[in-house]
Structure 1
Amino acid sequence: MSRTVILVRHAKTGDGEPDIDRALTPRGHADAAAIGRALAANDVTPDRVVVSPARRAQETWSDAARELPAGAAPAVVEDDRIYDNDEDLLLEIVRETPDDIDTLVLVGHNPSFGGLALRLGSPEVRRDGFPTAACAGFEITGSWAGFEPHAATPYWFVVARA
C-alpha cells in the first residue's frame, strides 16, 4: 500500500520573543494561503495533519486549510515534538501514525524539516534548501510503523508564494 507524507514549513514570520508566539507577517499569511492552493492543485487530501504548537505553524495551517476543497482538512493534532526541531522526533511522529491514514501532513520548522527532507531523498532540497512556505511530498510503501527514510520516494516539491 502506498502512503504519502507531506512536510510543510511555516510561512514568513516577524521577529519577536518568545519564539513560540511569533506570528506570520502579511506576506506569510498570503504565502500560507498559497500553500493550501498548491496542495489542492496537487490533489493532496490530508487524512491527518500534525502541527507544531508554535503560533506561526498554527497560522500557516489555518490559512492553508481554508484553500482546500470543502471537507479536505481534517482536525489538527498538535505535537510538541515538532517544535523541538529534531529529525528523529519527526520520524517518531510518522511511525506512530495509525495505518488507516493514507496522507499525513506535518507542519513545522527548520532545520529539522529541511534535514528530514534531505534524509528522505529530496533533490530539490539539496539544491534550494527548505525555505519558508516550502512543501515536500514523499511516497512510502508499507506500514507507518515500519517506515525508514531510505524507503521514501520524493515526488513533489514547491515553494508556495502568493
Structure 2
Amino acid sequence: MTGTLVIVRHAQAQHGIGEDHARQLTVKGRRQAQEVGTLLADAGILPDQVICSTSTRTRETLELALEQMPGRPQIDFEEAAYGASGRELYELVNLVPKDVGTVMLVGHNPAVAQMASEFIDLGPHGGFLQFPPASVAVVRMEVEWLYAAPGTGTGRLLTE
C-alpha cells in the first residue's frame, strides 16, 4: 500500500520574542493556519496520522488547521522534529505503520522545504524550492512508509 504525505511548514510566527521553541503565531499566522486546514479539507486530503514538532508555532498551526477538517487524526508530537534535518524527518516518517493512508508532517524550514523539494519537479535547472510559512506540499508515495526517501514519490505544491 502506498500513501499520501502532506508536508506543512508552520504558519507565520512572531519574530525574536522570547525562546524560539515558544514563539507563537501572529494574527496573520493564525489566519494562514486556518486556510491550510480549509485548503486540505476542500481537496479531500485528510490526515490519518500527524507528525508535529513540539514547538508552539507548529502546535498552533496544526490545531487551527484541524479545526477546519472533519474527524481527528492520531497526533504524534515529536521533539525530534524540532530542529530536524531532512534526513531526520524521513526517519520519523519511516516509523509510520504501513496501513496508514495519509500522513501530515508539520515542521520547520529548512528541513520541510528540503524534503518537499525532493519530490517536486523544479525544472531543468533545479534550485531551491520556495516554501514560505503555511506552505503545503502533497506527495503521492510509491513505497511503504518504511522505505520513504528522496525521490520515492511524486509531489506538488498545494499552496502558491
Same fold (TM over 0.5): yes
Instruction: Determine helix, strand or coil for the equivalent of 1:2.
Output: coil
Q: Distance in 2 between matches of 1:127 and 1:46?
A: 27
Question: Normalising to structure 2: TM-score of the pair?
Answer: 0.91
Runs of 4+ in 1 over 4 A off after TM superposition: 124-128
Deviations 1:61-83 (A, max 9, x none): 000000002x1x31321011210
Contact kept, 8 Å, 1:85 with 1:110, in 2: the verdict is no
Percentage identity across paired residues of the two chains: 30
Structure 2 unpaired stretches of 5+: none
* TM-superposed deviation, 1:13: 0.7
Higher helix share: 1
Q: Distance in 2 between matches of 1:75 and 1:123?
A: 32
Deviations 1:6-64 (A, max 9, x none): 10000011121200000001111011000000010111111100110000000000000
Structure 1 unpaired stretches of 5+: none
Q: Distance in 2 between matches of 1:41 and 1:126?
A: 30
Structural RMSD (CA) = 1.8
* TM-superposed deviation, 1:123: 3.3
Instruction: Determine helix, strand or coil for the equivalent of 1:38.
Output: helix
Contact kept, 8 Å, 1:120 with 1:149, in 2: the verdict is yes
Question: Normalising to structure 1: TM-score of the pair?
Answer: 0.90
Counting matched residue pairs gives 157
Show the counterpart of 2:12.
12
Show the counterpart of 2:82.
83
Q: Distance in 1 between matches of 2:6 and 2:112?
A: 10
The reply to whether residue 131 of structure 1 matches residue 128 of structure 2 is: no
